[in-house]
Every structure is written in C-alpha cells, then in structure tokens.
Amino acid sequence: MPPTSPSRRHLLASMIAASSGLALSPLLAAAPSAPLLTRPIPSSGEQLPVIGLGSWITFNVGRDPQGRRESVDVMRQFFAGGGRLVDSSPMYGSAQDVIGEAVQTLKPARLFAADKVWVSGGARGVAQVEASRKLWRVPRFDLLQVHNLLSWEEHLPILLAMKREGRLGYVGITTSEGRRHAEIEKIMASQPIDFVQISYNALDRDVEQRILPLARERKIGVIVNRPFRQGDLTQALAGKPLPGWAADIGCTTWAQALLKFIVSHPAVTCAIPATSSVAHVRENLLAGTGRMPDEALRKRIAQDVERLA
C-alpha cells in the first residue's frame, strides 16, 4: 500500500468520520495532521471528543508532589491534544483535588467536567456535589452521574432539577464490570438521562446485546470505562504481534486497537482510559484519530483479542 499523504489521510478520515456520525475536533498538538474525532451528545448535539480521561487509581496520588506534577502533565497533554472530558468520583480518593490543581494551573478552555455522586441519601448527595465542585475548582459540572446506581432514586430527581435550573449540563448513571445491567436498562428506559457509563471492551461485550442498542434508541450518550480491563488486557497482549489489520486503521499499539474497537461502536460517545503516563495519553488520543474499523473489522478485532489475550 503506498504511503498516504497527510491531506489524503485527512480526507479519508473525514469521509469515514462523516459516514459514522463522527466529526473532527481541534488539531492534536502532538500530531497536527491527525484531527481528534468527536461524536455528538445525543440529547443536545454538542460535540465531544471520542477519547476522554478517566482518573480511577491513576490520579489518587495524595500529597505526593511528584505524583501531582505527573498528573498535571498528563492533563496538560490531554487538553493540548484536543481532549475535553475528564471523569472522576468522590470514591477516587485525592483524584478530584489533583484534577482541581490541574484545572487551576492549566485553565483548560474546553474542559468537560464529569463527576459522580456516591453517597447514600439525597441531602448528603447535594453536600457531596458541592464539596466535589470545590475540589475541582469549577463553577459547575458539565455532567453528574449517579455512581454505581447508589441511591439513584433519591439522587436522580435532584440532579435533573439542577439541570433544569441551569446548574448542571447533563445527568447520567454509571456501572462497571457488568454489574446491575437489568437495573441500568430499567433506568435508561424510564428516566430522562443524558448519559450512561458502562464497562465495554473487546472481551467484555455483554452491553452490545441490550444496553448499547437501547442507548441509541433512547438517545442516551455512552461513556465507556475500563477499556483495558484496568490494564490487564494490554498486559495480556503485550509482546503479541499486532495483526495486519492494525496498520489499515493506523494502529501501532494494542492499546490503540482496543480503543478504536470501542469508539467505533455507533452508540459509544467516548471512552475514558485512565493513565499516569504522558506517553500513554498521546497514544490514547491517537486512537481517536484517523480511520476507524467497520463492523466486519470490529468482529475480527474481538476474535483476535479473544484468541490472543
């Protein structure tokens, strides 16, 4: 295959993006010719880059100055590369405060602040949201999600009221590792939520059966957590040669192939890999650029990962 020129590559990316509902966001700082693809939030049409940033474990560094510096560097690279959505939770230890420090230092112009409420009882939820907002150093959250459905019956009406009053952009619910999917479906079908956050990757594909189709039907955005099974998947694939299809979709690492598999699903709005490495942020952002696998290739990626991991 002859080498593709930047303009041809850009044109090809634009064509594929257009055909799958993806659009192009600001240029990547690290790779100016590779635009980061975006997807519309179904309930509003607002464009969101397909690669976000999780903070589970990676940003919980306590007061360690070195860990904090590294976390700020990760976020600097993320924003410079066109990233917007950063996701956290009160359950993640010092992560919210570390993100707040980065927000204060970097002043990102287009941050999409996504946090969670994780406490029993609605009144305590309101206090927790305010405490989280102060830690983040933001005037308001773009998205608040009920973490692992904890007390969702009490939290959802409060969050939806906050949205109506303009004190919040979007409302969502989360789960991880395949927990309580029946209840998730029930809420998706009955509540006016904007986002659902679930675990999805080339091996854990249960959500393809009901949750992802339901999200499309109900116009609910999908945020995907644990795209690498908390690192286990990339570790299992480390050292295994990338199959030939990887080059066709511009992947040089398994991590990129795994992310492209996720964000190419038409129901997925974005994936939120967490990392404490600047190099990995660059690698992850590149997975949100260029050609995406079609349905046939997605099946093949899943088969190959199943065989090799």
Partner 1 sequence: MSEWWTYSLSDFLMFSSRSYYRLIESYNAAIWPAHLLALVAGLVVIGAIARPRQHLQRSAALVLAAAWGWVAWAYHLERYAEINTAAPYFAAAFAVQALLLCWRAYRPGNAAPTPQPLALGLSGLAIFAYPLLALARDNGTWGQAEVFGIVPDPTVVATLGVLLAWRAPAIFWLVPVLWCLVSGATLMELKIGHAWLLPALALTAVLARVMRSKKTRDFNSTANPRS
- By CB under 8 A, how many residues form the interface with partner 1? 23
Residue 132 found at the interface with partner 1 (CB under 8 A): no
Binding part of the chain for partner 1, among 44-52, 54-62, 254-262, 263-271 by CB under 8 A, reads: 54-62
- Which DSSP category does 248 fall into? H
Pick 10 or 68: Cβ nearer partner 1: 68
Using CA atoms of 270, 34, 102, 66 in order, give the dihedral in degrees to the nearest 10: 110
CA distance 139 to 149: 25
Across the beta sheet with 168-174, what order do the strands follow? 85-87, 112-117, 141-146, 168-174, 195-199, 221-225, 270-271
Q: How far is the CB of 92 from partner 1 (least distance, A)?
A: 6
* Options 4, 43, 47, 230; binder of partner 1; rule CB under 8 A: 230
Identify residues 134-153 at the interface with partner 1 (CB under 8 A). Answer: 148-150
Identify residues 98-127 at the interface with partner 1 (CB under 8 A). Answer: 120
Cα 35–172–40 angle (5° rounding)?
30
Residue 49, strand partner residues: 38
Tokens 């464009």 belong to residue: 47
The CB density around residue 65, as the number of other CB atoms within 10 Å, is: 8
Q: How far is the CB of 218 from partner 1 (least distance, A)?
A: 23
Residue 182 found at the interface with partner 1 (CB under 8 A): no
Pick 6 or 62: Cβ nearer partner 1: 62
Identify residues 255-294 at the interface with partner 1 (CB under 8 A). Answer: 276
* Options 25, 38, 58, 269; binder of partner 1; rule CB under 8 A: 58
Pick 107 or 134: Cβ nearer partner 1: 134
Tokens 């990962």 belong to residue: 305
* Options 29, 31, 91, 138; binder of partner 1; rule CB under 8 A: 91
Contact 156, 193 (CB under 8 A): yes
Q: Alpha helix locations (H) across the chain?
A: 6-19, 65-80, 95-106, 122-136, 152-164, 181-190, 211-217, 232-237, 245-248, 254-263, 278-286, 295-308
Residue 57 found at the interface with partner 1 (CB under 8 A): yes
Residue 307 found at the interface with partner 1 (CB under 8 A): no
Q: How far is the CB of 297 from partner 1 (least distance, A)?
A: 31
Q: How far is the CB of 247 from partner 1 (least distance, A)?
A: 32
* Options 2, 7, 32, 66; binder of partner 1; rule CB under 8 A: 66
Pick 93 or 243: Cβ nearer partner 1: 93
Strand, helix or coil for residue 91: helix
Residue 206 found at the interface with partner 1 (CB under 8 A): no
Sign of CA dihedral 255, 104, 92, 62: positive
Residue 61 found at the interface with partner 1 (CB under 8 A): yes
* Options 17, 25, 35, 60; binder of partner 1; rule CB under 8 A: 60
Binding part of the chain for partner 1, among 6-14, 53-61, 134-142, 213-221 by CB under 8 A, reads: 53-61
- Nearest alpha-carbon partner for 138 in 97, 167, 103, 96: 103
Residue ranges that bind partner 1, judged by CB under 8 A: 57-58, 60-64, 66-67, 91-94, 120, 148-150, 176-177, 179-180, 230, 276
